[in-house]
A and B are shown apart, each in its own frame.
Chain A
Amino acid sequence: MVPLKAYRVMDHTGTVLDSAHEPRLSKEQVVNCYKKMVQLHVIDGILYEAQRQGRISFYMTHYGEEAMIGTAAALEDCDVVYGQYREAFMLLYRGFTMDEMMNQCFSNDLDYGKGRQMPIHYGSKKLNFQTISSPLATQIPQATGAAYALKRSASRACVACFFGEGAASEGDFHAGLNMAATLNCPVIFLCRNNGYAISTPASEQYKGDGIASRGVGYGIDTIRVDGNDIWAVYNATKAARQIAVEENRPVLIEAMTYRIGHHSTSDDSTKYRDRKEVEERAKFDNPVTRLRRYLENKQWWTQEEEDQWRKEVRSSLMKSFSAAEKRKKPAVDALFTDVYDELPQNLRDQKQELQDLMKKYPEYYDTSDYASSL
């Protein structure tokens, strides 16, 4: 079997292979992409450490997959995004602030999710980013449904739906892609194939030619790209968006990349893969370094700017970090609200029951860390 080739625009030295494929982005746009990639890298470093120190309960890094920000650059703000969990690049690109991020990770009273979900389960109504949930691949048929609705409302917007190659083994992947094809939905499926689903290598995940080969079977226009090449990712997404919005057809993009970090803070990946292999991949084929070389080739970026930007991100992140850490948890009331649009009788009763208990045993129900008691 001859595997489908991955589309690539620039090599690992940041050199564009065919200038016809170079996106004509301004210096400002390219620098913006790079700065967001670095910003994500810095955030990941600090939050990963914060979890190690027990200051937040959980974290997942994006190491090695930062070039996926090319998708963000290719989409429009009106496009609805469904993520899996390793897609904070999309939020950063659209203007999610570090305050907003820290508020979610610390589950404080400013968290939009009201402290109900684990860290990194971001969501933003304002930025058209549907709230992340843990069950894998559930977002795939949902993205298809949302795309159908967008088509009906003639909004000329599409849906971008991200997932890993492991999630693509779930039944919902099959359901979502088949429905998108048969119902002509403007949705772009973006698979991050990073070689591992926790400890399971891709070789134990599927026997076919990755995820891309399946798209053809569903009758979906499909492309495999070098996922460490921001311009390959950008071009593919741009073209996919055109197909989705103009022709109401889904597109599948498989971005080949490598998960440099551990799966999550609950995982030690040295238990199932060679540390040296990871270090070599991180060094030889790093999406951040690749874009940096591209910028340097154009003389759009210097070491001083790099140092200055990292310092800037670090210091404002630390400000957000300690502000978020200091804030109180949400009001205890938020335990009961939003299960339904209104509190039904059983929840009113149960809220009363907890309230009575808290009054009876105040020493066991300290609420001083919460914005308000019940």
Chain B
Amino acid sequence: MGLIVKTSARAIIPLIGIFGAYVVSHGHLTPGGGFQGGATIAGAGVLFLVAFGLSEMRKHYNKHLYSALEGLGGLVFLGAAMLGIGTAFFYNTLWHNGPILNGKPGTLLSAGFLPIMNLAVGLKVFTGLVSALVAIAMYRRWKS
């Protein structure tokens, strides 16, 4: 891509990333959540891929790391769901008894395991979408 696109991308990618992180972390307070925020951050990854090209992306993208992080996102989600297994699967014990995450409703630390799950889903969606798009972008050649 041209110079203007690259320079704009330099300015915009952090903004998209920060907005995506905001959507993920405020999933229990405002519209949005893990999936929407994760997809937004993945949008920043796509912008990087489009603006700077595949060769630059190859230097910054590690398949094993993204794959492991995607698994980690799922594991954190499952772990949060298992915290209250003494009562039931998905029992929100952090909200009922939990140490920090049971603040006044409407504040950031107020929804038990929901912020944790949103972060996990956001991580999983971001790494999954970026991995999928990079894999498609790297797909051999146009002809066979």
Tell me whether A and B are bound partners: no
Interface residues of B (CB under 8 A from A): none
Interface residues of A (CB under 8 A from B): none
